[in-house]
Amino acid sequence: MKTITFMGNILIFDNVTIMSEKSETTLDKIYTALNSSKQLPSEIIYLVNWDKVDVFVDLKQRGRVTIDGIDEHSLIIKDKENGRYTAMVLIVDENEKVSFKKILDKLHQSKSMNLELYLSIVDKYGDVTYYTLSEIKMSK
């Protein structure tokens, strides 16, 4: 039986991930509204993960092209030059407890998608710190 799941901009078809880009995502709309000092609709204000918005805006200001990740706590970075997806960003609030299992799951997920994994920690002021995560195999 075929299973299809759509999460944000990513379509998962029988455990094969296919990324698609909508014309303008919710994050793009928020970014545009913040830059033009337009008022955001109230349904967006209360339903949005603001840590994700902070990271999205920070990456956009650094010249990165990003799309929604496969869940509410991730983004995907796209290379401007060749159009390939290069990295997944796991978004965590500084006060949030993150299990080691969740980090390992994201690491394996990003590895299966052939992406690097970055951990972004958002503090109470909206400042973002990035860490690179990778797997190290140690021999005896």
78-102 tens-digit pLDDT: 988 888 999 999 999 999 999 999 9
Query: What CATH number was assigned to the domain covering residues 50-133?
Result: 3.40.1350.10
Please indicate whether residue 7 or residue 109 has the higher confidence score (pLDDT).
109
Grade residue 122 by pLDDT with cuts at 50, 70 and 90: very high
- Give the residue among 129, 31, 46 at the shortest CA–CA distance from 89: 129
The pTM (predicted TM-score) of the whole model is 0.73
The top-scoring range by mean pLDDT among 25-29, 108-112, 128-132 is: 128-132
Contact in structure between 109 and 90 (CB atoms under 8 Å): no
Residue 80: what pLDDT? 85
Task: Give the CA angle between residues 88, 85, 49 to the nearest 5°.
Answer: 40
d(CA 99, CA 105): 10
Residue 24: what pLDDT? 55
Domain boundaries, the chain: 50-133
Q: How many other C-beta atoms can be found within 10 angstroms of the C-beta atom of residue 52?
A: 23
Interval 8-61: pLDDT, tens: 444 444 444 444 454 456 777 777 777 776 666 666 666 677 888 889 989 999
